């Protein structure tokens, strides 16, 4: 796409690539849900956009080491090796919030986050402080001793975010994290993302283009398993015209990039 650089080309000097993928392909059955994508992401907050079925969740799960690539190269935190010991060490440095996460309803919020800290091998001497800090950051301090089964959808989502950040991850992967959050909570969450992104690589999959525009410096747009665009958020903002669908510059840019990508595929087939 002329005039639009890759994430690596737009990165400032010294930008560390926590996530590097080349030709990454992940199949779900016979279909390539992620189809030969290239990706270079470093410190900062990156939005992952795309329509339903674009491959966003499959990509997030692959980066979280839940799924394994079928082909291509993937480096996380500078390593492509995946022995059992290396995976264990890598997972200590990852934070992951899936769309639906399992939990014991009878656990309190504090017990849930403590349990996840134990799974991530947070040192025992640091666990209590790490758990409290994570709970405070998602504004659940007053509900820390409430049972998980008593929480509203938005509070449950915030508890999920707390477990994802309890180990101060170098890579934080969030799949639809703002589902159930009210507008004020979404604004607080954006501020939290920017704070975490100052030192870590954060990738946020969402349908809410405005959240990406408000919180992210970089954006990856996917469609049908392929990368449509990867670059600075400002390129998304100026990519559309008044004729493109959307209520904001970011939404119109999203619509325009998808339209051009699909028109190009039709033209290539013709």
Q: At what angle do helices 109-119 and 153-165 cross, to 10 degrees?
A: 30
Same domain, 137 and 192: no
Q: How confident is the model at residue 11 (pLDDT cuts 50, 70, 90)?
A: very low
Domain span at 3:
1-17+44-93+170-270
CB atoms within 10 A of CB 121: 12
Same domain, 71 and 8: yes
22 within some domain? no
Asked whether the predicted pLDDT for residue 84 surpasses 50, the reply is yes
Q: What gap in Å lies between CA 148 and CA 245, rounded to an integer?
A: 40
34 within some domain? no
Q: What gap in Å lies between CA 196 and CA 176, rounded to an integer?
A: 17
Q: How many domains does the structure of the chain reveal?
A: 2
Same domain, 83 and 213: yes
pLDDT of residue 181: 87
Average pLDDT over residues 214-233: 95
Same domain, 155 and 186: no
Same domain, 197 and 267: yes
pLDDT of residue 102: 86
36 within some domain? no
Asked whether the predicted pLDDT for residue 4 surpasses 80, the reply is no
- Which of 113, 133, 168 corresponds to the end of one domain? 168
Q: Are 212 and 47 in contact (CB under 8 A)?
A: yes
Same domain, 135 and 267: no
Q: What does the radius of gyration of the chain's CA atoms come to, in whole angstroms?
A: 19
Same domain, 175 and 164: no
Same domain, 134 and 251: no
- Which of 124, 147, 168 corresponds to the end of one domain? 168
Average pLDDT over all residues of the chain: 90
Same domain, 241 and 112: no
Same domain, 63 and 117: no
In angstroms, the Cα distances linking 232 to 11, 39, 242 are 8, 13, 21
Q: Determine what percent of the chain is predicted with pLDDT higher than 70.
A: 91
Lowest mean pLDDT among 3-7, 20-24, 173-177: 3-7
Half-sphere exposure of 129 (CA within 13 A, CB side): 5
pLDDT of residue 268: 58
Q: How confident is the model at residue 93 (pLDDT cuts 50, 70, 90)?
A: very high
Same domain, 261 and 175: yes
* 39 bridge partner residues: 21
* 260 bridge partner residues: none
Asked whether the predicted pLDDT for residue 15 surpasses 60, the reply is no
């Amino acid at each position: 796409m002329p005039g639009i650089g890759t994430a690596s080309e737009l990165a400032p000097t010294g930008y560390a690539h926590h996530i590097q993928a080349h030709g990454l392909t992940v199949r779900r059955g016979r279909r390539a849900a992620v189809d030969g994508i290239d990706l270079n992401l470093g410190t900062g907050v990156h939005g992952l956009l795309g329509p339903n079925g674009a491959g966003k969740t499959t990509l997030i799960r692959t980066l979280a080491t839940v799924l394994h690539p079928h082909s291509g190269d993937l480096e996380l935190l500078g390593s492509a090796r995946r022995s059992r010991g290396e995976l264990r060490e890598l997972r200590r440095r990852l934070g992951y919030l899936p769309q639906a996460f399992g939990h014991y309803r009878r656990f309190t919020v504090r017990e849930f986050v403590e349990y996840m800290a134990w799974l991530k091998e947070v040192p025992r001497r640091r666990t209590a402080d790490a758990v409290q800090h994570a709970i405070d950051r998602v504004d659940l301090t007053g509900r820390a001793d409430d049972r998980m089964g008593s929480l509203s959808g938005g509070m449950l989502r915030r508890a999920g975010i707390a477990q994802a950040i309890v180990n101060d991850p170098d890579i934080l992967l969030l799949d639809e994290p703002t589902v159930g959050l009210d507008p004020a909570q979404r604004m607080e969450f954006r501020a939290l993302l920017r704070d975490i992104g100052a030192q870590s690589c954060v990738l946020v999959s969402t349908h809410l283009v405005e959240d990406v525009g408000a919180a992210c410096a970089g954006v990856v747009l996917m469609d049908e398993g392929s990368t449509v665009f990867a670059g600075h958020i400002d390129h998304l903002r100026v990519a559309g015209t008044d004729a493109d669908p959307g209520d904001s510059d970011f939404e119109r840019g999203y619509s325009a990039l998808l339209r051009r990508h699909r028109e190009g595929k039709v033209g290539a087939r013709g």
